[in-house]
Amino acid sequence: MRAAVLHEVPGHLSIDEVEIDAPARREVLIRNVAAGLCHSDLHFMDGKFAAPTPSVLGHESAGVVEAVGSDVTYVKPGDHVITCVSAFCGQCNYCLSGRQTLCNRAGTERASGQASRLTIAGESCGQFIGLGSFAEKMLVHEHTVVKVPDEMPLDRAALIGCGVVTGVGAVFRSARVEPGSTVAVIGCGGIGLNCVQGAILAGATRVVAVDTNPAKLDLAKLFGATDTVDAAAGDPVREIRKRLGGVDYSFEAIGLKATVEQAFAMLRKGGTATVIGMMPPGVSIELPGIDFLTGEKTIRGTNMGSNRFREDMPRLVDLYLQGRLKLDELISTRIALEDINDGFAALSRGEVARSVIIF
């Protein structure tokens, strides 16, 4: 099969022929239909985070089951599925207490000494976060897939696998935004836009989108933002305090020291800041300690929107099919696998919300 492989860090992806093994007893072989380009992949390509090489990147995808291992009962050939990086063992304390995104994924990868799922010229090739979506096929553990109805378009379903479940999940699962509250979202890329529409679905009365790109601010309005703040024109904290006196909830969807500190600073008393963006290792943030005492403010992280993906993703599909969740508007362009490096270049320049590979 053809796949986009990262051979060196930092580096671009090359389109290589990769061999894929047959499913083991709890594995699922999927024919990919669509895969989204996410900033997380770009962080690893740029060397901001360590990545083993060679590896097939990609983690936001949807496709059709081609074959299953002998012990798989959840899906069968022909089923339409979304994949998710939140693989779960189903047995640890985190899984049993409903916090599967914190699971250590025991048993979801092949053990040392077993044949690699992917090989290039006989040598082992890795799968990004256990998936490797930038390929014509994927071989994954059954606990990384969720079934979706056949009527759900798979190019839009792919987006639910990361960007949507992370952004909407951060609102519903992580922060638990209450109806009637006020929300600010810093960074209006794919994740941030889903925070915006998640806040609207949760019943927030004011949702402020913050970005330096006017086109992204316009897109945020389409997703329901009631207010926009151009961070390039001045201090967004001052502007939000001027308009609203601060917000009940803020979401940082970039991963920068400065914007994380802004997310905390724009809170009103009792507010919660949720950090979604991937901050590189070693970055420290500085917060006014007195605010924790006198303002009872909270700052927290979130991993993939604290999702329970086999429960959450079917609900998101239903919301889309009901016309209540925007997915069509997230797709800026559809590209071929061969165009993947151009797609990431456009993402790096901030020109797109999501580019989607169509296989």
Q: Nearest to residue 65, comparing CAs of 153, 148, 189, 125?
A: 148
282-336: per-residue pLDDT in tens?
889 999 999 999 999 999 999 999 999 999 999 999 999 999 999 999 999 999 9
Task: State the pLDDT at residue 268.
Answer: 98
- How far is residue 330's CA from residue 190's CA, in Å, rounded to a whole number? 7
Count Cα neighbours of 69 within 13 Å in the Cβ-side half-sphere.
15
Residue whose pair of structure tokens reads 């079917």 in the numeric block: 314
- How far is residue 294's CA from residue 300's CA, in Å, rounded to a whole number? 18
Output DSSP code: residue 90. S
Contacts of 348 (CB under 8 A, 6+ apart): 42
Q: Nearest to residue 29, comparing CAs of 83, 104, 85?
A: 83
Task: State the pLDDT at residue 112.
Answer: 87
Q: Nearest to residue 161, comparing CAs of 256, 287, 283, 59?
A: 59
Which amino acid type is present at position 111? A
Q: Are strands 118-120 and 27-36 parallel, antiparallel or unpaired?
A: unpaired
256-266: per-residue pLDDT in tens?
999 999 999 99
Residues of the chain with pLDDT under 50: none
**How many CB atoms are located within 10 Å of the residue 17 CB?**
10
* Whether the Cβ atoms of residue 336 and residue 358 lie closer than 8 Å to each other: yes
Count Cα neighbours of 128 within 13 Å in the Cβ-side half-sphere.
30
Q: Which residues are catalytic?
A: 38, 40, 43, 59, 162
Task: State the pLDDT at residue 262.
Answer: 98
- How far is residue 278's CA from residue 282's CA, in Å, rounded to a whole number? 12
Task: State the pLDDT at residue 48.
Answer: 86
- How far is residue 249's CA from residue 229's CA, in Å, rounded to a whole number? 16
Task: State the pLDDT at residue 51.
Answer: 82
Domains observed in the chain: 2-148+327-358 (3.90.180.10), 170-302 (3.40.50.720)
| pTM as predicted | 0.95
Task: State the pLDDT at residue 350.
Answer: 86
Task: State the pLDDT at residue 280.
Answer: 83
